[in-house]
Structure 1
């Protein structure tokens, strides 16, 4: 619960900065990996995100975080693009990518599988709806671990 409150506080602090710099705050996470803490901020823009964009946002956010100091533990700040194979985290993301190919990984079996691929055709509070080989599959949200855009090269 404390981590959830920290995330909400960080979003409240960071989103106006990202917006003022003319980017979208796509996602934010505070995670522990290999014994180190990481504050990862994913920004987006219709024109794409480059290294200069990440540096500009990182500097501005770093200055604010040094001043406000909302995180008690030591951590690394990372700012990046969500990438072309981006994860979809919320309804806003699902809405944006209706009719796109997605990969869905589940935390447990659903109809004999833990992985599904198809075209995202809809969603509601209970499920994510995809179409695969002409069949609609309604996958319960509580079973979903990760939804990503499927990218083929």
Structure 2
């Protein structure tokens, strides 16, 4: 099974459980590092998650994966918080991040830059507006390569 299909199968498998228990699925990664495969599931909830939450989710997902067996390779399952520098993946992530400090990279230059660190001013599905210093940059959403919350020092 291809990596995108594995991600989709895992998302479909775990989302009902997460919804039922008040968690939010942030991201699923299935990646090879060295000779080992890792299935990483990033989860959050209002107020943050703790180690017990990760354990419950991991136990549930492990049982589901054993029953359905969608992954043929040997892999390590990791369930964790997305951390302080949480990625912005979905539209709702961008909306929740308005007014917060972010780091955004683009596939190609916008206003002569490919990296933008500043305050997320607005988001409307087509355009991401980030204020860097005193200048606002309008980034076409289709040109955003990655975005995450950023810790401001």
Partner of 2:3: 3
Partner of 2:133: 133
Identify which range, 34-43 or 73-82, moves more after superposition: 34-43
Q: Equivalents in 2 of 1:110, 1:116: separation in Å?
A: 10
Q: Equivalents in 2 of 1:4, 1:68: separation in Å?
A: 17
**Deviation sequence 1:41-74 (CA, Å, 0-9, x none):** 1111112111121111111110111011111222
Under a length normalisation based on structure 1, what TM-score does the superposition of the two structures give? 0.88
Partner of 1:115: 115
Q: Is the 8 A contact 2:111 2:137 kept in 1?
A: no
**Deviation sequence 1:91-139 (CA, Å, 0-9, x none):** 0100111111111123443332221112112223433211223332112
Secondary structure in 2 matching 1:92: helix
Partner of 1:46: 46
Secondary structure in 2 matching 1:58: helix
Unaligned runs of 5+ in 1: none
Partner of 2:35: 35
**Alignment RMSD (CA, Å):** 2.0
Unaligned runs of 5+ in 2: none
Residues 52-131 of structure 1 aligned to structure 2 (within 5 Å) = 52-131=52-131
Secondary structure in 2 matching 1:152: coil
Q: 1:138 to 1:42 in 2, by over 3 A?
A: same
Residues 6-21 of structure 1 aligned to structure 2 (within 5 Å) = 6-21=6-21
TM-aligned CA deviation for residue 23 of structure 1: 1.7
Secondary structure in 1 matching 2:41: strand
Q: Equivalents in 1 of 2:46, 2:26: separation in Å?
A: 12
